Homo-oligomer: A and B are copies of this chain.
Amino acid sequence: MPGGTPHPHGLHRVITPAGVLPQPAEVIDNRMVCQANELLIEVGALNVDAASFTQVKALVGEDPQAIAAHMQGIVAARGKLHNPVTGSGGMLIGRVKEIGPDFPNADGLQVGDRIATLVSLSLTPLQIHRVAAVHLAAHQLEVEGEAILFASGLYARLPADMDERLALAVLDVAGAPAQTARLVRPGMRVVVMGGAGKAGLLSLYAAKQAAGAAGQVIGLAPFAAECAEMRACDWIDTVLHADARDAVAVLHAVTQATGGAMADVVINCVNVPDTEMASILAVREGGTVCFFSMATSFTAAALGAEGVGKDATLLIGNGYARGHADFALGLLRQSAGLRAIFQRRYAGDKVPA
């Protein structure tokens, strides 16, 4: 049995170092015994954070079995899918297996209900018994396994009108479009870097809804194919073909696209490091940059703004915003075009492991 009194934040499952919370912990207790305030889940799929999946793929190659083995190794060592290089995790989909009698927010939940957890895999006790498939493009693993949700953990019931892997892909990045909607006002110019990824496309859609016809919504991506895909989206006003790591190229492209006004809001959804400066150079004085990329360097962002004398608001993209799951799923229901892209990308390919 996991040690100590069950704690809402999962302190009773931290092994090393002692006294920290489960996310920063190196190792947590992943024994699948449901404590009084916990939820035990039979896991069906893992949606790995893009920065983590990309790092593992770069390390072991595009071989599904090698990727599966590496992910299993992380879980075996740490008790959670917490990538030690990127620091990030992802999320999961599964079926409720046991509800602890003191689990809060059960809200009519029944054993057997299908749910997605809305907290990171970087803090979720997990066991992977078997990997059934690895979906390279979707950064997803189909698995047989078990996981624990703490009392403070959030979850969403899966919608009945959507493919489960599609819902998972959306829920994993639901914070980005929800925060974008809060930041953007009518008439604003908005640049979404990494605009062709899933967080990027959802954020672009949310940005256009909030900015309206008078606004200018700009998607930026490094590959021609991504740019072509964005040009086919009628909610994206301008597409820029540039590498977000090239701060100087982005500065020139955004200057030209906005007639020198620069962006009121920049949303960074890029999955590679060294894109902080481009984001800061793209925003106007007094504007806001929101970093959702898990590859963001805190010091590069803070010192970068100071280094170029840019008085802008710099936000750490919070993965959670009240109502973000319903908000993000709602965007797919509103736009057949957006849903078609997501269906094709994240619920279409199947590569056996």
Contact = CB atoms under 8 A, between A and B. Distances in A.
Interface in A259-314: 274, 277, 291, 294, 296-314
A144 B118 CA distance: 55
Contact of A152 (B154, B277, B309, B320): B309
A318 interface: yes
Given A277-B23, A312-B318, A320-B306, A87 B299 contact: yes
A306 B291 CA distance: 15
A311 B324 CA distance: 10
B312 A315 contact: no
A79 interface: no
A303 B21 contact: no
Highest count of chain B CB atoms <10 Å: which of A296, A297, A309 = A309
Contacts of A320: 305-306, 309-311
Interface stretch (A119-127, A184-192, A194-202, A204-212): A119-127
Nearest to A154: B309
Given A309-B152, A309-B154, A319-B306, A299 B86 contact: yes
A156 B120 CA distance: 44
A11 interface: yes
Q: Is the interface of A mostly helix, strand, loop or mixed?
A: loop
Contacts of A89: 303
A344 interface: no
A24 interface: yes
A153 interface: yes
A87 B120 contact: no
Contact of A247 (B21, B313, B315): B21
A248 interface: yes
Nearest to A89: B303
A152 to B, nearest CB: 5
Contacts of A277: 20-21, 23-24
A183 B324 CA distance: 24
Contacts of A22: 307
A24 B319 contact: no
Highest count of chain B CB atoms <10 Å: which of A122, A277, A296, A316 = A316
A317 interface: yes
Contacts of A9: 248, 307-308
A88 B299 CA distance: 7
A321 interface: yes
Interface in A23-45: 23-24
Contact of A274 (B24, B294, B310): B24
Top 9 A-B pairs, shortest CB-CB distance: A306-B319, A87-B299, A314-B316, A298-B298, A306-B320, A154-B309, A123-B307, A296-B298, A120-B303
